[in-house]
Each structure stands twice: as C-alpha cells, then as structure tokens.
C-alpha cells in the first residue's frame, strides 16, 4: 500500500534523521535509486547491503580497494525498484560478508541500536540497524551463516532468510555462493513477506536460482514445535538470554503450541562444518583473485577465515557433500513430527570490546543456532521476543523446510503480536496483524456450515490439510438448513431455495489447492461441494446437499446456524 507521504517528503525527513544516526551505518547514501510510481511497494524507502549491486552506487563489500561501479543493479534490486520501493543508501557490513558481529569493516563497527557498546550483529549490520532506527522501511542483507538473522535478533526487528534459490543472487558479491541467500529486514512480518512476494522468483541469469513454489498451507492453529534437547541448548553463561528463551517457549505454548525435544547434534555438526571444514573453500573461491594478489588489504580476521579454504582439494569437497547430504536427510525427517523448529536467534550478546579481543571465538558463539540452516536447505524467520532486563533485545528464530516461508510467517506474526513490543528502536507501537499473502491461485476458499466448523468433530480434515480460518460470515438469505437423519457424526445439509430462504452462519477457510482434491473426494453423498453465495454477494466453494437427503431431516433454518442448533439440543438434553 502506498505510503501516505510523498517520496520527496520522506527523503527530506530521511536525510535529517540519517544525519543524526549513529556513525558507520552507511557506506554511501548520497544517491537515490527511485522506484516505480506504482506497485505493491510504492513509497517504501529501502537500504541495500554493500555487497549487492545498485547502479549509481559503488559496491565495496567493505573493502575500498575492491570497490567497483556497477552499471546494472542486482536482480533483487531491479525487482525491488520495479515494485515501487526507492533505494536511499548502501549499508556497512562485515567485510566480504564474513562475520556475525558487524565489527570487521574499515568504515568502523556498527553499534547496536539499543546499547551502542554492544555489537549490532553481522554481517548485515548496517542494513539491520537502519531498519531498527526507522531510517528506512525495509532493507536487504545477505545470509550465509546467519547474517540475515543475528542482526535482527540483536536489534528487535524481523529478519527473513528465504530458501536458497528463491531470491536471485545475480549481482551479489558472494560470501559462499553455493549457499548464499539475499535476506530481508523489516519491522513487521507482513512487511517482510510483502517484499519477498514482490521480488522472489526464478532468474535464468543466476546459476543458483531454482523454480521453488512456496507452500501455501497455513501454520495450524495447534502446532508442534521442536526444541533442541535441554543439554544441547547453549547460552554461554548468559542467564538473561536463557530466561528470555524459556519465556518465549511458554508464550508459544500459550499460542496452542506443543513442544517436543529433538536431537540437535546433526545441526551442530553442520554448523561447525561451515567454518571449519571444506565449505570455507567456497568463501576463498568467491574472491580468489583479489585474495591471492592483495591479501594485505583484507581485514586480518577475515583473511584468516577465508585463507583456511586454500588447503582443501577437490576430493575433500565431494566427501563433505556426501556427509552433508546425510545430515540433510536427518533434517528432512524432522517435519514428520514437528511443524517448526524453534531456537534462540542468538545465544548471547557481546560487547564490541569483547568481540575485538577474541573475534573468532565470539563470532562462533553467535552462530550456534544459525550456521547450519543454509547447508541443510531450510528456510527461517527471526522475530523479536522480548527486551531483556539489561535493555538488550532477544529474539527467536522459526525454521522450516525449503519453501515454508508463508507457514513460518503465520506463526511469526502470531508470536510477534503477543509480545507487546514496539517496532525496532523507534518506540512506535506494533500495528494490528495483517493477513499473510499467498501466491495467487495456490489456495481455494471453502465455506463450511456444520461438522467442519472450528472445534467440531470433522474440523481436523481441514487442519491436517493446512487450511486456515479466514472469517466467520453468513450466507445470503437464499438457503434452508436441515439436521440430516442418521449421520455420524451429526451433520447438517444446506439447500438453495427460490423463496423463503434464510441466512446461515458459515466459516470461510483457505486451503492449499494441492490438498483440495483429497478433501472433496472424502465428502460422502448426499453432501457435496458447490458455489455458495455469501451475504456480501461474493461466492466461494461450500457444502450443499441433494434434495433427496431431506427425507426424515429436521428443518433448523430458524436457528441460523449449526452451533446454535447444537446449543439448543444440548440444553434440551
């Protein structure tokens, strides 16, 4: 939806506020890449991490001697502009996107939006803090090991890490190009998903892009969430973080979630492999020529990490791929028993001084819950959970299989809404929940009037197919309603009539189109699915019955709905 202020008004305010922002967020904000006049993102201001090309801005990857002037924007930027957003600056990062701390930049460390002595998280540090402070509406980061999630968790914003290949990486300076993702920062879950829906999609110019349909199924109202075994949870002595996570688990249970424990060891093995095995060779390959010819111009910590990739040979790669494939099989098996995996976004928060004193160990600690996600081909969304007693934000991350972004977003918004938190570091209240958009044509609306209503015996047939309740409505006053004889469980029948009709209470559910066929096939005669007219004149698919079913049935139209009839029957008993 277009922003109420004009772009000119917003830019004037942006320039004033940006001048007052903490130092080292921006690498370049002198130019503006203006978006289209209309589109789903019209009027939004965006920032872009400076390892992603924007025509008119230099790309430095936080290494001035590496800088170049792109003549074309990255695919994700082209699509962002086409959707109406305007890019107002390039943001600071850990050099070559190597780090989870936000301190490895010649432009200086990016300070936490809440407590400046603490790290902001990286490598997408500037992008996250610009959103947290309200300087821009949304921003792009990248995520290889957690760079789109850790900064979100440490700055009280949403960080969406899409499935690999869902968003193009053409025009992105890679960190580890086989598993890199462009990530999205926003202050609310719906805003992040709106950006995703506007820019995602296959790109034939990107070698890692893939045709990946989003699962349209909703997160069930009653969901199962996995947690690492208690002895595998790690907070590195941070009691406040541990207490915040325990409280988040209780809140999830309060949202009708059921917790179960999983073995986190395979995830830890994958996480360790990202920096301490052959996979680091992908980082070396990404900047090999520059690394070999100008190593002294690279941050010493970054040079140490990437340089470790030089020792591996091709045979090591194939051995590691086989082992990672087995770990991926384990991850895939989880979804039979849980709907979502829940972990802390970061196990603790470090000061800038502590990171500078021991940069590799402190960085490794921050990646305890993030490093494995891309290697195991999973999707994730980091969402704020609370503000700790010491004033630092704490967040959790919801993790699901590839393509599950919309399901994760359903639960992420439900969780965010009950936190009572304000937006980022702005102090602004969290707006009311918005429907998470679905891919057009991927779902179908179904009106139910009887045993499939929420909480009634056949409602499970909707829930197990990933359907979600949209609204409670009434039909147009063109129907007669009957309690059918001899049905188990008891069911009503609704019949359209030419006169003397009544309006009947109904629930409208949204179901994935892929599940709709099996749902309809399971409906026993004389019931069936037809077109139902609602009180607002719209039509959806819904339950009707054949006239022959009315023999021995009781006309219950006067009750106006199945629940009212059941209430009468219960009272009479």
* Catalytically active residues, by annotation: 49, 123, 147
- Bridge-based pairing of strands 468-474 and 340-344 is unpaired
d(CA 425, CA 134): 8
Is 146 within 8 Å of 373 (Cβ atoms)?
Answer: yes
Find, among 421, 458, 510, 449, the residue nearest to 219 by Cα. Answer: 510
Cα–chain-centroid distance for residue 10?
Answer: 27
Is 372 within 8 Å of 384 (Cβ atoms)?
Answer: no
Beta bridge partners of 119: 111
Neighbours of 313 (CB within 10 A): 9
Beta bridge partners of 468: 510
Cα–chain-centroid distance for residue 7?
Answer: 27
Which residues are CB-neighbours of 19 under 8 A, at least 6 positions away?
Answer: none
Residue 246: in which H helix or E strand, if any?
Answer: helix 239-254
Neighbours of 326 (CB within 10 A): 10
Question: Coil, strand or helix: which one is 449?
Answer: coil
Which residues are CB-neighbours of 171 under 8 A, at least 6 positions away?
Answer: 52, 53, 70, 72, 73, 74, 75, 76, 77
Find, among 133, 96, 102, 88, the residue nearest to 24 by Cα. Answer: 102
Question: Coil, strand or helix: which one is 411?
Answer: helix
Is 481 within 8 Å of 555 (Cβ atoms)?
Answer: yes
d(CA 186, CA 293): 38
- N-terminal to C-terminal alpha carbon distance within the chain: 52
d(CA 8, CA 535): 43
């Amino acid at each position: 939806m277009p922003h109420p202020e004009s772009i000119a008004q917003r830019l004037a305010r942006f320039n004033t506020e940006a001048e007052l922002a903490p130092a080292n967020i921006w690498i370049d904000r002198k130019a503006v890449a203006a978006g289209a006049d209309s589109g789903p993102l019209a009027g939004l201001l965006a920032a872009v991490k400076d390892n992603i090309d924007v025509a008119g801005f230099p790309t430095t990857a936080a290494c001035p001697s590496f800088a170049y002037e792109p003549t074309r924007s990255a695919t994700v930027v082209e699509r962002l502009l086409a959707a109406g957003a305007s890019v107002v600056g390039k943001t600071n990062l850990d050099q070559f996107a190597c780090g989870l701390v936000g301190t490895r930049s010649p432009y200086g460390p990016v300070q936490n939006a809440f407590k400046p002595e603490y790290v902001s998280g990286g490598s997408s540090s500037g992008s996250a803090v610009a959103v947290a402070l309200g300087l821009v509406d949304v921003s792009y980061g990248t995520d290889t090991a957690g760079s789109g999630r850790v900064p979100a968790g440490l700055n009280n914003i949403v960080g969406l890490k899409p499935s690999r290949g869902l968003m193009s990486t053409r025009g992105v300076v890679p960190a580890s190009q086989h598993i890199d993702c462009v990530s999205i920062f926003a202050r609310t879950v719906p805003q992040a998903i709106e950006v995703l829906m506007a820019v995602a999609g296959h790109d034939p110019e990107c070698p890692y892009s893939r045709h990946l349909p989003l699962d349209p199924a909703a997160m069930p109202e009653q969901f199962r969430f996995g947690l690492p075994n208690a002895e595998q949870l790690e907070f590195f002595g941070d009691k406040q973080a541990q207490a915040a996570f325990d409280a988040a688990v209780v809140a999830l249970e309060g949202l009708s979630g059921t917790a179960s424990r999983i073995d986190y060891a395979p995830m830890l093995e994958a996480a360790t492999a990202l920096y301490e095995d052959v996979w680091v060779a992908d980082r070396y390959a990404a900047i090999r020529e520059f690394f070999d010819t100008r190593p002294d111009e690279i941050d010493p910590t970054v040079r140490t990490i990437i340089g470790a990739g030089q020792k591996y040979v091709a045979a090591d790669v194939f051995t590691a791929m086989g082992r990672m494939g087995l770990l991926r099989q384990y991850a895939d098996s989880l979804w039979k028993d849980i709907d979502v995996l829940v972990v802390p976004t970061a196990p603790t928060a470090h000061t800038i001084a502590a990171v500078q004193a021991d940069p590799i160990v402190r960085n490794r600690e921050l990646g305890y819950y993030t490093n494995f996600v891309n290697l195991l081909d999973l999707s994730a969304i980091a969402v704020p959970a609370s503000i700790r007693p010491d004033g630092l934000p704490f967040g959790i991350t919801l993790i699901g299989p590839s393509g599950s972004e919309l399901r994760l977003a359903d639960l992420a918004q439900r969780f965010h809404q009950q936190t009572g938190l304000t937006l980022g570091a702005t102090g602004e209240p969290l707006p009311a929940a918005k429907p998470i958009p679905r891919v057009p044509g991927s779902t179908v609306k179904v009106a139910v009037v009887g045993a499939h209503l929420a909480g009634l015996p056949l409602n499970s047939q909707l829930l197990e197919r990933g359907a979600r309740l949209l609204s409670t409505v009434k039909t147009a006053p063109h129907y007669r309603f009957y309690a059918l004889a001899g049905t188990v469980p008891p069911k009503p029948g609704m019949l359209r009539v030419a006169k003397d009709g009544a309006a009947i209470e109904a629930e409208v559910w949204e179901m994935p189109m892929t599940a709709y066929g099996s749902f309809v096939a399971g409906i026993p005669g004389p019931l069936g699915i037809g077109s139902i007219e609602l009180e607002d004149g719209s039509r959806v698919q819904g339950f009707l019955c054949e006239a022959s079913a009315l023999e021995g049935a009781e006309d219950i139209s006067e009750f106006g709905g199945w629940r009212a009839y059941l209430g009468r029957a219960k009272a009479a008993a």
